[in-house]
Structure 1
Amino acid sequence: MKHYLIKTPIINPIILSIGPVSIYWYGTIYLISLTFALWYVKKNLKNKKIKLKKIEIEDLIFYCFLFMIIGGRIGYIIFYDTQTTMEKIFSIPKIWNGGMSFHGGLLGIILGIKYFCIKKKKEFFEISDFIIPIIPFGLALGRIGNFINGELYGRVNTKILVSFLFPKARPFDFEIAKKKPELLIIFNKFNNLPRHASQIYEFLFEGIFLFIIFYKLKEKKLKKGLLTSFFLIFYGVIRFILEFFREPDFQIGFIFNNFTMGQILSIPMFFLGIYLITNLKIKK
């Protein structure tokens, strides 16, 4: 069976520079996500049994976005950056450099919602269920950013019909190829090893698939908290499975010889979702 290899180009992380001002792909993606979140919430407000004023909507999105950025950057440093220094801690606001943890960002969103609920005297699950459908859209855009940057690429793939060559993986590919003669032949030919496009898999399943699911579920009359619980379960399962196609972070490698940090962090999400469901009185 013929194997198709697609070489991913090295794309400049800067879209445009005007004098000292540079526009980054990452920054643009977050701006699009923020704009979509504001539009989506305002558009769907009238379809929800939730009372929020325009200023409250803007406050809610602002808190969620701010806490997500802080949580995502801190989460990356705690979970993935094994060589943390004071310089890296001060680089937390530099989202254009990459290095965001979804699980840290999710914790940030939870804290942002909690802060909003305390300040505005709202019920947590009422607000979280309202926000949940937005998250997969942001995830989808984030995975596009990962693919553009050639980061978070998949594991070596020599069996599935289509594979990708990621230039940024080249140094690690050589180390892997040295251990297996059949891979060394491929590396010598392409100066790379064929890999899964895990960013595309995640774009499709974490992003598009979950967005469609929760877009449909939000129209159902569900008990408060169920939508939040379902997201924790669905994302936890999908992320755990997709991590089998994704290369572990080189600075961490495998945990317990088989699992990645992403899988370890997704397990508590799943069980938290199950716990929340079992503690909700579900109406027929």
Structure 2
Amino acid sequence: MLTYPQIDPVAIAIGPLKIHWYGLMYLLAFGTAWLLATYRANRPGSGWTKEQVSDLIFYGAMGVILGGRCGYVLFYNFPQFMQDPLWLFRVWEGGMSFHGGLLGVLVAFLLFGRKYQKSFFQIADFGAPMVPVGLMFGRFGNFIGGELWGRIADPAIVPWAMVFPRAGDVARHPSQLYQAAMEGFLLFLILWFYSSRPRPQKAVSAVFLIGYGVFRTIAEFFREPDAQIGFDLFDWVTRGQLLSLPMIVIGVVLLIIAYRSPNNVESRA
């Protein structure tokens, strides 16, 4: 069994100003996404400018933050919002939903497309490979904050199990790191190399939806369900799995459409 590294959630404190690790992870996520997108935009024939990349990251960041918070409130803890509506704005207390953030980003893509006269899937195919990096940093933030811990694990079988400060005195899976590895690093590699060659439009977006949905479904078997929800079905199906299933289905349909459409133009993300 490993010892959970006690990390002060405040990374930098200058007088009354406090910068939390969770906020730094978001800055790293958006900064890395900008660097990767700029690299792709600089390639000949990309169809993207540095100004467009900067705007896309800004639109995406707003979509992630607003959608992620609203999604968590609606999908995971609506009763608390009804009791305390101002809780919606206390982001520093934790509570962000990937699926809500995804919906926010989709809206952001639509608004960005109207401004720059780009189609939705031109934007989505270009942006999809950068998303997993943000997810990876976000899961690191969850780990540092000692939140969203995993299910109880036997240290004899799982020697890397940890006792999280706010999760009792039992060893648990560090599921945040599992998610960082699968939904973050591994999915990034898959998308980055898949999109390095021209693909039918919609295909890169489809692979992202399928990849995230599958990896999140696997990770949920090791992650402790939210206390206020528990399991949704059969004492083993979680809310995260139910929200990921439509992503897989939509992704498979999009991939079939992408490769079967005779007039579908190829795009390089």
Q: What TM-score results when the alignment is normalised by the length of structure 1?
A: 0.86
Computed over aligned residues only, the root mean square deviation of the Cα atoms, in angstroms, reads 1.9
Q: In the TM superposition, what whole-angstrom CA distance separates every residue of 1:157-206 from its partner, at most 9, and x where no partner exists?
A: 11333311111101xxxxxxxxxxxxxxxxxxxxx111111111111111
Q: Give me the identity figure in percent.
A: 40
The residue aligned with 1:277 is 255
The residue aligned with 2:132 is 136
The residue aligned with 2:214 is 237
Q: In the TM superposition, what whole-angstrom CA distance separates every residue of 1:138-158 from its partner, at most 9, and x where no partner exists?
A: 111111111111111111111
Shift of 1:121: 1.1
Assess if the C-alpha contact under 8 Å between 1:25 and 1:96 holds in 2.
Answer: no
The residue aligned with 2:66 is 70
The residue aligned with 1:109 is 105
Please give the alpha-carbon distance, in whole angstroms, between the structure 2 residues aligned to 1:49 and 1:239. 34
Assess if the C-alpha contact under 8 Å between 1:236 and 1:267 holds in 2.
Answer: yes
Shift of 1:55: 2.3
**Aligned counterpart for 1:120 among listed residues 116, 120, 134:** 116
Please give the alpha-carbon distance, in whole angstroms, between the structure 1 residues aligned to 2:70 and 2:47. 33
Q: Kindly provide the amino acid, as one letter, of the partner of residue 228 in structure 2.
A: Q
Q: Kindly provide the amino acid, as one letter, of the partner of residue 227 in structure 1.
A: V
Please give the alpha-carbon distance, in whole angstroms, between the structure 2 residues aligned to 1:120 and 1:87. 41
Please give the alpha-carbon distance, in whole angstroms, between the structure 2 residues aligned to 1:221 and 1:281. 12
- What are the within-5 Å matches in structure 2 for residues 142-153 of structure 1? 142-153=138-149
Report the secondary structure of 1:15's partner residue: strand
The residue aligned with 1:200 is 177
Please give the alpha-carbon distance, in whole angstroms, between the structure 2 residues aligned to 1:50 and 1:91. 42
Runs of at least 5 residues in structure 1 that lack an aligned partner in the other structure: 171-191
Assess if the C-alpha contact under 8 Å between 1:27 and 1:95 holds in 2.
Answer: no
Alignment of 1:15 onto 2:1: no
Shift of 1:254: 0.6
Assess if the C-alpha contact under 8 Å between 1:82 and 1:252 holds in 2.
Answer: no
Please give the alpha-carbon distance, in whole angstroms, between the structure 2 residues aligned to 1:259 and 1:104. 19
Shift of 1:234: 1.0
Please give the alpha-carbon distance, in whole angstroms, between the structure 2 residues aligned to 1:19 and 1:77. 32
Please give the alpha-carbon distance, in whole angstroms, between the structure 1 residues aligned to 2:46 and 2:94. 35
**Aligned counterpart for 2:151 among listed residues 149, 155, 176:** 155
Q: Kindly provide the amino acid, as one letter, of the partner of residue 194 in structure 2.
A: L
Number of residue pairs the alignment of both structures matches:
259
Q: Which has the larger radius of gyration?
A: 1
The residue aligned with 1:225 is 202
Please give the alpha-carbon distance, in whole angstroms, between the structure 2 residues aligned to 1:17 and 1:273. 44
